[in-house]
A and B are shown apart, each in its own frame.
Chain A
């Protein structure tokens, strides 16, 4: 069975601080995908990144960066120089490596990030 753990439930930072959101996963599969989604107060989940288990390269996109470490089953997300607009709930998710809709997403419980001005 797959499992995603986001141990941090709420994080509060002051604008311009860096913040890291942790994600630890469990799976028996040797190939899988990991995702991060952002849920702003409006409610819609916004896709941020997909990472497959073959590729452990870290990725940077503007102020966002992701650190994938297969050895520790972690896929952490760092926001550099946080802004008020980053305030949202962030979900980490895991997918089996199968074709079709059977490749279901397993979500963590989410981390509520509050960035204060």
Chain B
């Protein structure tokens, strides 16, 4: 069964450093998302991406964040200068889009720890 994959599973970085989180969405999906989950809290939307541009973004997704689809398979989230409060699980999701095809399938997540 196709699934969303994410690398790395755990990333430790120092405050102020740049990090790139990587995702490979399900191959025939057209819409891509990043969500985050601070420990013990609910899953929060960051950004959605379609046709090589951002469709929607939340207030969390400020200028420190960017997304890119560098090739036909990868989808990345970059945090330019990490802060302590960026420590969270980051989930990538994808959906096929179109009509009623809104089911979003999540990857296993990357745990980001900022020290």
Indicate whether A and B interact: no
Q: Which residues of A contact B (CB under 8 A)?
A: none
